Structure 1
Amino acid sequence: MGEIIGVVERLWRYPVKSTAGEQLDAVEVDERGLAGDRLYAVRDGSGKFGSGKNTRRFRRMDGLLRLGSRVGNRLTAPELLDPLGSPVADPDAFLRAYLQRDDVELAREDTVSHLDQLPVSVLTTATLDRLRELLPTTVLDERRFRPNILLRTPPGTAPFVEDTWFGHRTTAPSGLTLAFVRSSERCVMTGTAQPGLPHAPEILRTIARTHQNRLDALATVPRPGRLQLGDQLTLG
């Protein structure tokens, strides 16, 4: 039997890329990741997707983190939520007014992936607790880092334990298998204001200084399956 590396404490998916996430009790996970995760994005007239940064695929669109999104179990078109958490009747019209851009729309993923990197992000409580120690006056929780899985690690687990998993696989009770590959390189979104979390640029500076600007464990999904709160994950 493999080593138990933790228990699933929270599950998150982000139906519309770069908006606040939706907490889940259970979810199906396949090769693309958690069902419904980043399935939609805000797309501009040039085909770039709204994000916290500018890259070949993404365009920085400030304010998206103040919005929310959810799809529930239907996995149809998501509900877009305004900064007060209320559903928006016409997402495209709202986004154009909110972002002050007349070329944006809510778009379902097609041939170009909405994912920044790999399908699944896992963050441990050991690492999160260490950041809280380093930043005692900062309002800090996992929403800053947008993981899919927050894993409650056993007492005494070293911070940044995620680094030791690269090249290994973990298995859930359903048979779901995740293969850990690398960590995420962090950007300004870690300190961007969102509901309940004020602007905190010191977070990115601290990650850069203490851990080479990297945080979490990114994984592929060799074997699909179901994941739910309380599942123990074992490292093979």
Structure 2
Amino acid sequence: MSENTNEHIDGVTNQTDGTVGTVARCFRAPVKSMQGLWVDSLEFRESAAVGDRAWGLIDDTTGKLMTAKRYGRLLEAGADDTTITLADGRRIEIDSPTASGALSEWLGRAVTLCRAGEVPDTGYEMTFDPPNDDAEYYEIPTPPGTFLDLAAAHLMSSATLAACAEARGDLNWDVRRFRPNLLIDVADGVGPFGEEAWVGRDLHVGTAVLSVQSPTVRCAMPLRAQPAEGAEPDLQRQRGMFAAMNELNGTHPNHLGIYLQVVRPGTVAVGDPIKLED
């Protein structure tokens, strides 16, 4: 395996019907930067998957959206559509009038739990030097009416993650670090990082059509520690992953996965074939 795992990008499938993969897992996070839900299917509307990053914490002092890019502690909490569960087991009902106060107490700063679209357009803060939490932070705007980073959906390939793990086995490449909406198993003929060759084309999956916009630039999130999930162990802090993502993707350093926009709303389920439009 070459150190640069995408030295031979190949997004072409051997399938005659244009199938480039199959949906292996679906994920959404009801509250921005908290642990989310692995689900059987996602319903995509024009702006996002239903219930994905539907809620977020606004810092009352700055007015900015809080994310684990800067506030890694958010990853210690988990959320479903109705309840936030803190690391100590405390449960907070999302629609409770006391939710913001309880979360402010937990974080030690005044915050307001808001639904996406109910607050003026805001931004989140991130650094371009992810291993250094003390580096300068810059504000990045969220897409209007959402708490998303950039695009309606995020897709990753299990083949790409496996190639990264083979090249850098000293690091943990668990998909939970990257929080994609869709994890796919690619078809024969599609190599590691092959999904980047789909930029500018449409994917037909389930009843939805998703347009591939760009490779996904990575932030501090994959470097963060995360708690155990069911039978899955906890994830340790990994500052070295930033350098590894730069090394392994020679075409787009520090990019992993692809961003998608919704061309035709619809439902995507585990097991659905993914077809690349000619």
- Category of TM-score, reference length = shorter chain: 0.7 to 0.9
Q: Name the structure 2 match of 1:210.
A: 248
Q: 1:13 aligns with which of 20, 28, 53?
A: 28
In the TM superposition, 1:33-182 aligns within 5 A as 33-45=48-60, 46-53=62-69, 60-71=70-81, 78-83=82-87, 87-89=91-93, 90-101=98-109, 103-110=110-117, 111-112=120-121, 113-155=146-188, 157-174=190-207, 176-182=208-214
Identical residues among aligned pairs (%): 30
State the alpha-carbon separation in 2 of the partners of residues 214 and 85 from structure 1: 35
More divergent stretch after superposition (10-19 vs 134-143):
134-143
Q: Name the structure 2 match of 1:75.
A: none
More divergent stretch after superposition (92-101 vs 62-71):
92-101
Deviation of 1:132 after TM superposition, in Å, equals: 1.0
State the alpha-carbon separation in 1 of the partners of residues 25 and 90 from structure 2: 23
Contact kept? 1:67, 1:85, Cα under 8 Å: no
Using a 3 Å threshold, how does the CA distance of structure 1 residues 144 and 221 change in structure 2: closer, same or farther?
same
Q: Given residue 276 of structure 2, which amino acid in structure 1 is its aligned partner?
A: L
Q: Given residue 260 of structure 2, which amino acid in structure 1 is its aligned partner?
A: A
Give the 3-state SS of the residue equivalent to 1:132 in structure 2. Answer: helix
Give the 3-state SS of the residue equivalent to 2:162 in structure 1. Answer: helix
Using a 3 Å threshold, how does the CA distance of structure 1 residues 26 and 199 change in structure 2: closer, same or farther?
same
Contact kept? 2:155, 2:181, Cα under 8 Å: yes
Q: Name the structure 2 match of 1:187.
A: 219
Q: Given residue 160 of structure 1, which amino acid in structure 2 is its aligned partner?
A: F
Using a 3 Å threshold, how does the CA distance of structure 1 residues 85 and 137 change in structure 2: closer, same or farther?
farther
Deviation of 1:229 after TM superposition, in Å, equals: 0.8
User: TM-score by structure 2 length?
Assistant: 0.75
Supply the RMSD in Å over aligned alpha carbons: 1.7
Deviation of 1:156 after TM superposition, in Å, equals: 5.4
State the alpha-carbon separation in 2 of the partners of residues 173 and 185 from structure 1: 26
Count of aligned pairs between the two proteins? 222
User: TM-score by structure 1 length?
Assistant: 0.88
State the alpha-carbon separation in 2 of the partners of residues 194 and 85 from structure 1: 16
State the alpha-carbon separation in 2 of the partners of residues 62 and 94 from structure 1: 18
Q: Which runs of 5+ in 1 are unaligned?
A: 54-59, 72-77
Using a 3 Å threshold, how does the CA distance of structure 1 residues 135 and 97 change in structure 2: closer, same or farther?
farther
Deviation of 1:168 after TM superposition, in Å, equals: 0.5
State the alpha-carbon separation in 1 of the partners of residues 75 and 167 from structure 2: 24
Give a deviation string over 1:67-97, Cα, whole Å, max 9, x none.
11111xxxxxx31121256633553233212
Name the larger-Rg structure: 2
Q: 1:27 aligns with which of 22, 39, 42?
A: 42
